[in-house]
């Protein structure tokens, strides 16, 4: 296949994004959903860094990716706290059971 | 610059191969006598009862949580440390503020007791149960010590 | 001075009435002595007054005193006493008859359960009659007019446990009321125009011409209606025969002398009011009444009924006399009639008293030996009424006939000539039925043995009045005093100018004399003719009355039934009112109630209509909308599964859809 | 490394034809093998040393018998081959995996731990030119890689599905995690002074004799930093006073309870390799790495490139000796004391040192 | 086929395969391991793109921190033991369809758009530039990040503490 260019990275990030999304959409366990979310964020990071490399803007992309990682860390922490609370409340973390807000 | 990173990657692969090789050798050489006793979970020879799940208290999670937050702090401080020499007084103040804010978090955790770990209360009961027994033992030992020292 | 006497004359009966009505039962002899003595005092005072008035011997004698009674803004109503010759005469007549009746009643009413109340009513009646005579204005007359009506009602219905008595009282009162209404309207009419009730002021205004022409005539006729009602004239005479239900002294007092005379007095007092036309009407009414009453009296069997109809007939005479201009003739006849009619009634009373309340002449007969005094006085009175010369009746009746002939000659109208003829013929009839009654009662063989045996002469209290009246019946007719004093008033008298009017008097004097003689001759002839016929039928029994009555059955029945007046009134007025009330009732029920009910039903209909539409349409609509929204809500609810992942899935699905659409569009 | 590659390329051997990258990869593989065997050999040597030292400290002889029949060394062998014998024994032992355990995870856990440590060696500086990959973010990379061990420990604990191993795993993970912070922070102190993450830069900054070593700069601060770093890295390696998770007496072998045979050996190998790694790491950062303590004293004789690896290894061995020494002298820390020291003592002091150095440098 | 492409494909396939493992595996821990290898390979990809500092942060923060956190999360939120922690899937079919659709759209976008692409320069060490840029240009996000971390810490700690009591 041709030399690895920007498109390859974009396709890879799209693929990872899609897989993450699939995890979020289909997984029953909340923690797995969180993992899915992390994967999606990483896919985004790949894009950032790919562009920071191929459209050189003085490492803006990388800095942005850095901050994405930071926020993801904080987000994961809080999300997990929430999940644990849900677990305490409902004795299970399966999302399909957590439908008290049903209409 | 890429090659620098190739090294650890290759080192990982080589180490994995090394272990795999050894495991293969040991698998070939080792006697294989499966028996029920062997295959049960090892509980100091006791018969394993109950599930291994133990309701972890949340402390492990909180510790990891604080670790993540400070880990991220380190990630921020590394580039600062690297360019500390070149930057002036201003960057130092910024970082002081940055670290101070996070220290507030640490203080909060510390104050709220998230960092404490349950002290195993050992010894308390025994002493209460039979205080005079302890006294006797205590006195006897001192006597023997005196004899010995003499 | 005289006025004070008159005031006392009027008020004394009132006082006695008051005492009698409240303490009558507790007084000794149930207080019959109190009213009687009071009346005799009144008689004495009226004699004094009459003495003073006649001593002046001035036809223009007039004393009035009045005081302001009611002040209504600008108009003030004055009330007062008027004394002139006419008042004096009337006072004397009323007090005399009343006191004699009081005296007679003591005997007659002896043993009656409501003895004291009877006397109370008598004094009330006397007070109201005396008041009526002495008052100087229309309002006063009207008030006393009503009082007289009330007391006559009370006295007629004295024995109210008798059904016929109470009905008679009601009938009398109602018929009087009809007349009073006419009078009242007349008074109002006058007041509306002249703004005053006082006689002299009214007459002055008429003289001045404020009230004249057709209006004056109608006012006159209306006032005359009152007289018709009270004096039982032609249309309204039906109540008097029934009034006989009351005790006989009452009939004597009220239905002979006083009350019925009030009508004539009223016409006399207000004579100036009547215009030519009014006088014609009055004369006609009077003549008709006289004729009808006389014919009915001929066939009556009850003694009191005969006298009652004779009273109506004589009143007819007086009214006719006034109608034809015979002013003092009429009034003079009033005075004389009072005397002998009272005597007749009291006589009848003593006969009835003797026959133990038997009034039917067919049960009487041959009483002249049993009741010698009663027979004697009764005979005198009968001769007087029949117009036998020498007695009071002759003079007064003759004067009337002369006046009517005079008028006929003066106007030369057939109308007056027929009046004269009828009056003459009625005089004959009067004589006939009076003597018929006399003979049926006192002569012949007693038809009711058992009652005949018990009959005995009445005690002294009853016979004295009979004798006294008999005396007055005899002497009453003589003397010109009446003619001079009681002059026919005319407008000029009241005109401020006060022009002398003797001249006109002289001219009429000559014509009158001619007519006078013709009238006298004719009246005597007819009188004796009547007596002869009566003697033929009842004294010598040559012809039997029954045969005549059978031969002329039609006429007889017609007369027996009192010209079917009662039936007539019954048919017209009574049933009319009933019908009217029924119609009103029906109208009220159906039309008004109907209207109300219909509106109610309409409103319910409308509300029901709006209610249903509201329910059906409006609610329907609203419910429909609610249901639709509910349905939407239900369907949409399915989407909210509560699972976050489902939501994200939907969102992404929508996103892809949009993207594709956008592509397709581009 | 570059010089080595040029040397090979122009040596016209059959290898010179290959591109530079290919050559590098070949060398990396060679060095990988070298380091893997070195790690194994070092582990054996250190185990032996540990046993002898701890014995002598406790006034006993330690393993004496196993001298492998070399007549000469029979009585003075002091059981040198003891650990060799152990190694062979472990190779021959049966590798038992309990039914309840999750076979695949059970296998992966040791791999992760061992590979993480070996990968870290690729960055260690043994001499000015004797470094496998002279990475620009060397120090930071080491920090990153060592964090893998947490995952390894947790997976090992979880995979064996044994209450003790799970608890042990969790506890050791918590310990490693909480001590990584102070070690990370303290490293920053040095990086601040040097201004670069490359190991060689840091070491060269300390050239010039013992007085130039970082440990002596900014007098108390760097020393404190060294102590914090020494303790933190010790705890991360689960050794000595901080080895509560696999304290023999209480939690049997901690997360390694269900491991037997060579897998268990791998844990041991990775532990001692980790010790050696720490030794080199600390010496590089604080004790001047491959610079001789004498500086220019003996005319720079000792600074020659040849001596550089000697010095760094000597310093590493000294640190290891210190660790062993600590192990057999200090009593084990209770769990709450463990956490206390990490969060309430080391971390605050680490921040103090950072600010102190920062201020000091600015004035 | 240069070494660069080779390593890219190695890492790309590694990442995708492990991500797939994470998505489709039923055992929770296998998901975690899958995520672990995915993150490691993504770090490798960062290296290929010249972001050496970020690769290290990725390893340090994600693998060392977040993954550890997730593992702890898994262990604390599991009712029963037994190694196989089953976690089923929901609405897999629709999910797949939608996701596939989305992927196609992304691909279409990638290949249709003309990226302002330059030929990449040689890779330079990035740490110093990152340090400078953070301390100068991105000062405010830097401070806000600190506040964000503080809030996250306090929030999570509070919730965790609430959970314990």
Quick: pLDDT tens for C573-621. 778 888 888 888 888 788 888 888 888 888 888 888 888 888 888 888 8
CB contact under 8 A, E98 and C659: no
pLDDT for E128 equals 87
Q: What is the mean pLDDT of residues D55-72?
A: 74
Interface-testing mutation among A70, A72, A93, with chain B (most B C-beta atoms within 10 A): A70
- In angstroms, how far is the first alpha carbon of chain C from the final one? 137
Q: Report the alpha-carbon distance of residue A93 to residue C124 in Å, rounded.
A: 120
**Which of A24, A26, A103 minimises the CB distance to C637?**
A103
- Domains annotated for chain A, with CATH where assigned, are 9-90 (1.10.287.3510)
CB contact under 8 A, B68 and A77: yes
C666 min Cα distance to partner chain A (Å): 25
Q: Report the alpha-carbon distance of residue D354 to residue E71 in Å, rounded.
A: 32
pLDDT for A43 equals 94
Q: Are A14 and A37 in contact (CB under 8 A)?
A: no
C650 conformational bin, left if phi > 0, alpha if psi -120 to 50, beta if neither: alpha
Q: Report the alpha-carbon distance of residue C607 to residue C619 in Å, rounded.
A: 16
Q: Are D234 and D342 in contact (CB under 8 A)?
A: no
Region of poorest pLDDT, from C85-99, D80-94, D266-280: D80-94
CB neighbour list of residue C54: distance below 8 Å, 6 or more residues apart: C85, C88, C481, C485
Q: Report the alpha-carbon distance of residue A39 to residue A19 in Å, rounded.
A: 8
Query: Does an H or E element contain C77, and which?
Result: strand C75-83
Q: Report the alpha-carbon distance of residue C178 to residue B101 in Å, rounded.
A: 122
pLDDT for A11 equals 92
**Which of D102, D104, D137 minimises the CB distance to E53?**
D137
Q: Report the alpha-carbon distance of residue B60 to residue B114 in Å, rounded.
A: 10
CB contact under 8 A, C643 and A21: no
Sign of CA dihedral C110, C113, C119, C121: negative
CB neighbour list of residue D68: distance below 8 Å, 6 or more residues apart: D77, D81, D84, D85
CB neighbour list of residue D303: distance below 8 Å, 6 or more residues apart: D207, D291, D292, D295, D296
**Which of C636, C639, C642 minimises the CB distance to A101?**
C642
Q: Report the alpha-carbon distance of residue D72 to residue C58 in Å, rounded.
A: 208
- DSSP letter at D74 equals T
**Chain B 23-52, CB below 8 Å of chain A: which residues?**
none
CB neighbour list of residue E68: distance below 8 Å, 6 or more residues apart: B64, B67, B68, D150, D151, D154, D173, D177
CB contact under 8 A, E80 and B74: no
Angle at C612 between CA C608 and CA C614, to 5 degrees: 115
**Which of B58, B69, B76 minimises the CB distance to A84?**
B58
Q: Which residues of A touch E135 (CB under 8 A)?
A: none
A101 min Cα distance to partner chain E (Å): 18
Nearest chain B residue to A77 by CA: give it.
B65
pLDDT band for A45, please (50, 70, 90 cuts). Answer: very high
**Which of C642, C645, C652 minimises the CB distance to A100?**
C642
E9 min Cα distance to partner chain A (Å): 9
Q: Given CB atoms, is C641 within the 8 Å cutoff of chain A?
A: yes
Q: What is the mean pLDDT of residues C504-508?
A: 47
Q: Which residues of A touch B72 (CB under 8 A)?
A: 69-70, 73-74
Q: Given CB atoms, is A26 within the 8 Å cutoff of chain E?
A: yes
Task: Find the DSSP H helices in chain D.
Answer: 2-9, 20-57, 82-92, 103-121, 138-146, 148-159, 163-194, 199-205, 219-236, 248-251, 262-285, 308-329, 335-339, 347-362
Nearest chain E residue to B54 by CA: give it.
E81
Q: Which residues of A touch C639 (CB under 8 A)?
A: 103
Pairwise pLDDT comparison (C356 vs D295), residue with the higher score: C356
Q: Report the alpha-carbon distance of residue C290 to residue D272 in Å, rounded.
A: 171
Checking if the pLDDT of D12 tops 70, the result is: no
- Best CA proximity match to C183, nearest among C235, C213, C139: C139
Nearest chain E residue to D163 by CA: give it.
E81
Q: Report the alpha-carbon distance of residue C202 to residue C215 in Å, rounded.
A: 14
Task: Decide: residue D177, CB within 10 A, 0-12 exposed, 13-18 middle, 19+ buried.
Answer: buried
Q: Are D152 and D119 in contact (CB under 8 A)?
A: no
The pLDDT tens digits for D306-348 are 788 888 889 999 998 888 888 888 887 877 888 888 888 999 9
Return the partners of chain C (3 or more C-beta pairs < 8 Å): A, E
Sign of CA dihedral D352, D354, D355, D359: positive
B76-101 core/surface letters (b: 16 or more CB in 10 A; e: else): bbbbbbbbbeebeeebbebbbebbeb
How far is C-alpha A57 from the chain's CA centre?
A: 24
Sequential DSSP letters for D164-192: HHHHHHHHHHHHHHHHHHHHHHHHHHHHH
Task: Find the DSSP H helices in C363-459.
Answer: 372-386, 392-411, 414-442, 449-454
Region of poorest pLDDT, from A45-49, C401-405, D165-169, D257-261: D257-261
Q: Report the alpha-carbon distance of residue C312 to residue C439 in Å, rounded.
A: 22
pLDDT for E79 equals 61
Q: Report the alpha-carbon distance of residue C106 to residue C119 in Å, rounded.
A: 9
pLDDT band for D182, please (50, 70, 90 cuts). Answer: very high
Interface-testing mutation among E27, E38, E58, E64, with chain D (most D C-beta atoms within 10 A): E64
Mean pLDDT of chain D, nearest integer: 82
* Strand pairing report for C63-72 and C75-83: antiparallel
Q: What is the mean pLDDT of residues A54-75?
A: 88
The pLDDT tens digits for C20-43 are 888 888 888 777 888 889 999 999
Cross-strand pairs, C78: C68
Q: Report the alpha-carbon distance of residue A15 to residue E13 in Å, rounded.
A: 11
Pairwise pLDDT comparison (B79 vs C460), residue with the higher score: B79
CB neighbour list of residue C214: distance below 8 Å, 6 or more residues apart: none
Q: Report the alpha-carbon distance of residue C242 to residue D156 in Å, rounded.
A: 145
- DSSP letter at B118 equals P
- Best CA proximity match to C335, nearest among C210, C468, C482: C482
Count of alpha carbons within 13 angstroms of residue B34, beta-carbon side: 5
The pLDDT tens digits for C158-210 are 888 888 888 889 888 988 888 899 999 999 988 888 888 888 888 888 888 78
Sequential DSSP letters for D192-241: HHHT---HHHHHHHT-SSGGGSGGGTTHHHHHHHHHHHHHHHHHHTT-GG
Q: Report the alpha-carbon distance of residue B141 to residue C287 in Å, rounded.
A: 174
Checking if the pLDDT of C288 tops 50, the result is: yes
Size of interface C-E (CB pairs under 8 A): 19
CB contact under 8 A, E98 and C653: yes
CB neighbour list of residue B77: distance below 8 Å, 6 or more residues apart: B95, B99, D185, D188, D354
Q: Are A34 and A82 in contact (CB under 8 A)?
A: no
Q: Which residues of D touch E56 (CB under 8 A)?
A: 137, 140-141, 143-144
Checking if the pLDDT of D178 tops 50, the result is: yes
Q: What is the mean pLDDT of residues A8-29?
A: 90
pLDDT band for C241, please (50, 70, 90 cuts). Answer: confident
Are 3 or more Cβ–Cβ pairs between A and B shorter than 8 Å? yes
The pLDDT tens digits for E50-89 are 888 999 999 999 998 888 888 888 887 776 554 456 666 6
Q: Report the alpha-carbon distance of residue C103 to residue C59 in Å, rounded.
A: 34
Q: Given CB atoms, is D32 within the 8 Å cutoff of chain B?
A: yes
CB contact under 8 A, A28 and E70: no
The pLDDT tens digits for E5-58 are 888 999 999 999 999 999 888 888 888 999 999 999 999 999 988 888 999 999
Q: Report the alpha-carbon distance of residue A38 to residue A75 in Å, rounded.
A: 9
Q: Given CB atoms, is A84 within the 8 Å cutoff of chain B?
A: yes
CB contact under 8 A, E91 and C653: no
Q: Report the alpha-carbon distance of residue D184 to residue B36 in Å, rounded.
A: 46
Domain boundaries E1-89, CATH class: mainly alpha
Q: Which residues of C touch A102 (CB under 8 A)?
A: 640-642
pLDDT for B48 equals 55
Q: Are C322 and C268 in contact (CB under 8 A)?
A: yes
Stretches where chain B sits below pLDDT 50 are: 51-54
Are 3 or more Cβ–Cβ pairs between E and A shorter than 8 Å? yes
Q: Report the alpha-carbon distance of residue C568 to residue C585 in Å, rounded.
A: 24
Q: Report the alpha-carbon distance of residue D50 to residue C489 in Å, rounded.
A: 178
């Amino acid at each position: 296949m041709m030399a690895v260019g920007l498109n390859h990275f974009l396709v890879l990030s799209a693929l990872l994004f899609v897989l993450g999304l699939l995890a979020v959409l289909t997984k029953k366990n909340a923690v797995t959903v969180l993992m899915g979310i992390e994967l999606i964020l990483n896919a985004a990071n790949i894009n950032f860094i790919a562009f920071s490399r191929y459209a050189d803007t003085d490492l803006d992309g990388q800095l942005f990716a850095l901050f994405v990682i930071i926020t993801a860390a904080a987000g994961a922490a809080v999300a997990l706290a929430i999940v644990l609370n849900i677990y305490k409340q409902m004795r299970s973390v399966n999302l399909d059971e957590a439908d008290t807000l049903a209409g | 610059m890429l090659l620098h990173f190739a090294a650890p990657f290759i080192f990982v692969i080589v180490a994995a191969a090394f272990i795999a090789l050894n495991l293969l050798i040991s698998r070939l050489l080792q006697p294989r006598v499966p028996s029920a006793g062997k295959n049960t979970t090892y509980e100091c020879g006791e018969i394993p009862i109950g599930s291994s799940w133990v309701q972890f208290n949340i402390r492990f999670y909180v510790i990891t949580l604080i670790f993540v937050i400070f880990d991220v702090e380190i990630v921020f401080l590394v580039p600062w440390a690297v360019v500390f020499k070149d930057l002036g007084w201003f960057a130092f103040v910024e970082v002081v503020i940055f670290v101070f804010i996070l220290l507030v978090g640490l203080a909060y955790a510390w104050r709220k007791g998230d960092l404490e770990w349950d002290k195993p209360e050992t010894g308390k009961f025994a002493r209460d149960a039979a205080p005079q027994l302890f006294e006797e033992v205590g006195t006897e030992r001192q006597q023997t010590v005196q004899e010995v020292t003499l | 001075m005289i006025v004070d006497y008159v005031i006392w004359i009027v008020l004394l009966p009132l006082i006695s009435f008051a005492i009698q009505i409240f303490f009558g039962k507790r007084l000794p002899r149930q207080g019959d002595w109190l009213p009687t003595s009071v009346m005799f005092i009144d008689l004495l005072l009226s004699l004094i007054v009459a003495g003073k008035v006649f001593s002046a011997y001035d036809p223009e004698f007039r004393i009035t005193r009045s005081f302001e009674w009611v002040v209504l803004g600008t108009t003030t109503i004055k009330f007062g006493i008027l004394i002139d010759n006419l008042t004096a005469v009337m006072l004397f007549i009323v007090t005399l008859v009343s006191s004699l009746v009081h005296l007679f009643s003591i005997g007659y009413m002896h043993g009656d359960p409501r003895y004291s109340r009877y006397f109370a009513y008598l004094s009330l009646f006397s007070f109201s009659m005396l008041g009526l005579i002495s008052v100087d204005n229309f309002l006063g007359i009207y008030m006393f007019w009503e009082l007289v009506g009330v007391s006559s009602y009370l006295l007629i219905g004295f024995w109210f446990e008798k059904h016929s008595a109470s009905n008679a009282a009601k009938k009398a009162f109602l018929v009087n009321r009809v007349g009073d209404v006419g009078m009242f309207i007349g008074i109002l009419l006058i007041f509306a125009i002249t703004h005053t009730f006082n006689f002299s002021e009214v007459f002055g205004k008429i003289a001045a011409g404020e009230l004249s022409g057709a209006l004056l005539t109608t006012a006159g006729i209306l006032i005359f209606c009152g007289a018709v009602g009270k004096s039982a004239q032609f249309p309204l005479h039906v109540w008097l025969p029934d009034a006989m239900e009351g005790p006989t002294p009452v009939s004597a007092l009220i239905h002979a002398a006083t009350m019925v005379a009030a009508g004539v007095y009223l016409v006399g007092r207000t004579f100036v009011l009547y215009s030519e036309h009014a006088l014609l009407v009055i004369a006609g009414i009077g003549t008709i009444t006289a004729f009808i009453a006389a014919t009915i009296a001929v066939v009556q069997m009850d003694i009191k009924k005969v006298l009652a109809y004779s009273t109506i007939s004589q009143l007819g005479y007086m009214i006719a006399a006034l109608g034809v201009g015979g002013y003092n003739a009429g009034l003079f006849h009033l005075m004389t009639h009072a005397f002998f009619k009272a005597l007749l009634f009291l006589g009848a009373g003593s006969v009835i008293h003797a026959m133990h309340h038997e009034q039917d002449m067919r049960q009487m007969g041959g009483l002249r030996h049993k009741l010698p005094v009663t027979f004697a006085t009764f005979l005198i009175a009968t001769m007087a009424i029949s117009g036998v010369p020498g007695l009071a009746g002759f003079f007064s009746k003759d004067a009337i006939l002369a006046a009517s002939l005079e008028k006929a000659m003066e106007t030369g109208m057939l109308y007056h000539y027929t009046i004269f003829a009828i009056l003459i013929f009625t005089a004959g009839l009067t004589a006939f039925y009076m003597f018929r009654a006399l003979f049926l009662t006192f002569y012949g063989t007693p038809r009711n043995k058992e009652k005949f045996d018990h009959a005995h002469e009445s005690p002294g209290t009853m016979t004295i009045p009979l004798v006294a009246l008999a005396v007055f019946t005899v002497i009453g007719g003589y003397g010109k005093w009446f003619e001079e004093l009681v002059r026919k008033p005319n407008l000029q008298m009241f005109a401020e100018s006060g022009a002398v009017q003797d001249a006109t008097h002289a001219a009429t004097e000559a014509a009158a004399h001619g007519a006078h003689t013709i009238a006298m001759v004719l009246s005597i002839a007819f009188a004796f003719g009547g007596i002869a016929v009566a003697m033929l039928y009842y004294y010598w029994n040559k012809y039997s009355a029954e045969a005549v009555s059978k031969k002329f059955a039609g006429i007889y029945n017609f007369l027996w039934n009192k010209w079917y007046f009662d039936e007539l009134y019954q048919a017209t007025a009574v049933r009319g009112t009933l019908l009217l009330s029924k119609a009103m009732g029906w109208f009220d029920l159906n039309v008004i109630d109907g209207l109300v009910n219909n509106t109610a039903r309409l409103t319910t209909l409308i509300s029901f209509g709006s209610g249903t539409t509201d329910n059906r349409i409006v609610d329907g609509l609203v419910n429909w909308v609610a249901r639709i929204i509910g349905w939407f809500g239900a369907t949409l609810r399915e989407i909210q599964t509560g699972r976050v992942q489902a939501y994200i899935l939907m969102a992404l699905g929508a996103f892809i859809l949009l993207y594709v659409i956008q592509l397709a569009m581009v | 490394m570059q010089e080595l590659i040029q040397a090979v390329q122009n040596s016209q051997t059959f290898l010179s034809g290959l591109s530079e990258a290919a050559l590098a990869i070949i060398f990396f593989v060679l060095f990988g093998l070298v380091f893997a065997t070195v790690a194994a050999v070092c582990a054996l040597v250190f185990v032996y040393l540990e046993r002898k030292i701890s014995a002598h400290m406790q006034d006993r002889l330690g393993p004496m018998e196993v001298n492998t029949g070399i007549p000469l060394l029979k009585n003075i062998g002091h059981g040198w081959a003891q650990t060799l014998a152990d190694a062979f024994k472990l190779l021959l032992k049966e590798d038992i995996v309990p039914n309840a355990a999750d076979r695949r995870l059970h296998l992966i856990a040791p791999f992760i731990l061992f590979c993480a440590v070996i990968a870290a060696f690729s960055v260690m500086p043994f001499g000015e030119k004797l470094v496998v990959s002279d990475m620009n973010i060397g120090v930071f990379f080491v920090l990153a890689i060592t964090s893998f061990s947490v995952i390894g420990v947790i997976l090992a604990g979880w995979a064996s599905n044994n209450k003790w191993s799970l608890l042990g795993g969790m506890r050791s993970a918590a310990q490693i995690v909480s001590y990584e912070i102070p070690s990370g922070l303290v490293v920053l102190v040095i990086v601040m002074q040097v201004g670069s993450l490359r190991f060689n830069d840091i070491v060269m900054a300390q050239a010039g004799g013992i007085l130039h070593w970082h440990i002596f700069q900014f007098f108390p601060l760097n020393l404190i930093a060294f102590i914090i770093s020494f303790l933190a890295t010790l705890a991360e390696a689960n050794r000595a006073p901080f080895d509560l998770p696999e304290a023999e007496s209480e939690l049997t072998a901690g997360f390694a309870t269900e491991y037997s045979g060579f897998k268990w050996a791998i844990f041991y190998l990775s532990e001692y390799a980790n010790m050696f790694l720490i030794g080199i790491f600390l010496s590089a950062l604080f004790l001047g790495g491959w610079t001789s303590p004498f500086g220019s004293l003996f005319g720079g004789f000792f600074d020659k490139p040849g001596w550089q690896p000697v010095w760094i290894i000597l310093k590493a061995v000294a640190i290891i000796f210190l660790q062993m020494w600590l192990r057999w002298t200090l009593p084990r820390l209770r769990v709450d004391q463990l956490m206390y020291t990490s969060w309430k003592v080391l971390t605050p002091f680490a921040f103090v040192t950072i600010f102190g150095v920062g201020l000091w440098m600015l004035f | 086929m240069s070494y660069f492409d080779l390593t890219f494909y190695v890492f790309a396939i590694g990442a995708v395969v492990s991500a797939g493992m994470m998505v489709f595996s039923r055992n929770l821990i296998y998901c975690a391991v899958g995520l672990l290898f995915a993150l490691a390979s993504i770090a490798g990809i960062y290296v290929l793109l010249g972001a050496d500092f970020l690769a290290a942060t990725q390893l340090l923060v994600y693998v060392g921190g977040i993954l550890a956190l997730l593992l702890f999360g898994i262990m604390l939120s599991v009712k029963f033991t037994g190694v196989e922690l089953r976690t089923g899937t929901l609405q897999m079919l629709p999910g797949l369809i939608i996701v596939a659709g989305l992927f196609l759209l992304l691909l279409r976008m990638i290949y249709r758009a003309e990226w302002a692409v330059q030929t990449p320069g040689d890779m330079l060490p990035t740490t110093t530039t990152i340090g400078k840029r953070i301390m100068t240009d991105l000062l405010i996000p830097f401070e806000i990040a600190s506040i964000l971390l503080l809030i996250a810490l306090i929030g999570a700690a509070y919730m965790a503490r609430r959970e314990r009591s």
